[in-house]
């Protein structure tokens, strides 16, 4: 079984008021507990593949809708996503908290419970981890980070090749063709980051996000 050591993480965030960490690896995001301050415990971690980002985003929207109604979900658990032989599930419990669980062969392995404030922070950190999973060069990552600051409407317009080229002409970017290629390949990820950040309540986010940039 593949190991996920802290020293190999691209970026690593501790979640406040918990013993959980969320980290970026190549095309994966891990949420879980660290063993001996060296590596993630795979059995008690939730591993999210970059390929499942759209599916996970859809379920994030469903979780937020359930939270808005302020009542438990109708069924015990709903599918969040899966990875290898593990199935990840979510529900809103009777206390109005979000539960994320890992299941193997229909048996729950671990369940993590988040208050609204903690889930708000988790969403924000998840969005922060997405670009590092792409393993781009620094200038490429910086370009995508700049794009996340645009409005959702502005980003949607960039789906049109003509609008994208016009946008790049107005910016002091070098290698505009190269930037267009990056924009085209990764615009969907940027849109999801933009939407998730829009969902987050900035008033209950920490003033400063503590993080460990493992490999700089």
Reported as a single tens digit per residue, the pLDDT across 99-154 is 999 999 989 999 999 999 999 999 999 999 999 999 999 989 999 999 999 999 99
Mean pLDDT, range 45-51, rounded to an integer: 95
CB of 181 within 8 A of CB of 165? Answer: no
- Strands, E, within the chain: which ranges? 11-14, 20-25, 28-35, 39-40, 46-49, 78-83, 86-92, 98-104, 107-114
**Cα distance between residue 115 and residue 93, in whole Å:** 10
Q: Which of 197, 198, 194, 182 is nearest to 155 (CA)?
A: 194
Position 216 pLDDT exceeds 50: no
Question: H or E segment at 95?
Answer: none
Contact 31, 19 (CB under 8 A): no
In the predicted model, what is the mean pLDDT of the chain?
A: 88
Strand partners, 32: 21
From CA 66, how far away is CA 142, in angstroms rounded? 34
* pTM assigned to the model: 0.90
CB 213 within 8 Å of CB 11: yes
Predicted pLDDT of residue 212: 56
Distance CA 209, CA 197 (A): 14
Q: Given phi > 0 = left and psi -120 to 50 = alpha, else beta, which region is 37?
A: left
Distance linking the first and last C-alpha atoms of the chain: 27
pLDDT tens-digit series, residues 63-87: 998 888 777 787 889 999 999 899 9
The pLDDT assigned to 1 comes to 61
% of residues, the chain, pLDDT over 70? 91
pLDDT band for position 42 (cuts 50, 70, 90)? confident
Would you state the pLDDT for residue 174? 65
pLDDT-derived band at 213, boundaries 50, 70, 90: low
As given in the structure block, the two tokens for residue 158 are 């960039």
CA distance 88 to 109: 10
In DSSP terms, 39 is beta-bridged to 5, 35
C-alpha 163/C-alpha 83 separation (Å) is 37
């Amino acid at each position: 079984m593949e190991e996920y050591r802290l020293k190999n993480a691209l970026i690593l965030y501790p979640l406040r008021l918990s013993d959980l960490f969320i980290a970026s690896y190549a095309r994966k995001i891990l949420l879980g507990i660290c063993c001996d301050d060296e590596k993630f415990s795979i059995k008690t971690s939730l591993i999210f593949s970059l390929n499942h980002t759209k599916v996970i985003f859809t379920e994030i929207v469903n979780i937020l809708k359930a939270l808005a109604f302020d009542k438990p979900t109708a069924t015990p658990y709903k599918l969040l996503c899966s990875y290898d032989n593990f199935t990840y599930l979510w529900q809103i419990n009777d206390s109005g908290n979000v539960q994320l669980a890992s299941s193997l062969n229909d048996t729950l392995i671990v369940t993590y419970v988040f208050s609204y404030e903690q889930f708000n922070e988790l969403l924000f950190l998840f969005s922060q981890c997405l670009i590092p999973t792409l393993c781009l060069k620094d200038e490429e990552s910086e370009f995508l980070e700049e794009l996340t600051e645009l409005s959702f409407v502005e980003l949607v317009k960039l789906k049109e090749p003509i609008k994208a080229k016009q946008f790049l002409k107005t910016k002091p970017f070098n290698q505009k063709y190269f930037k267009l290629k990056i924009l085209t390949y990764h615009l969907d990820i940027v849109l999801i980051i933009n939407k998730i950040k829009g969902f987050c309540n900035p008033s209950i986010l920490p003033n400063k996000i503590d993080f460990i940039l493992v490999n700089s």
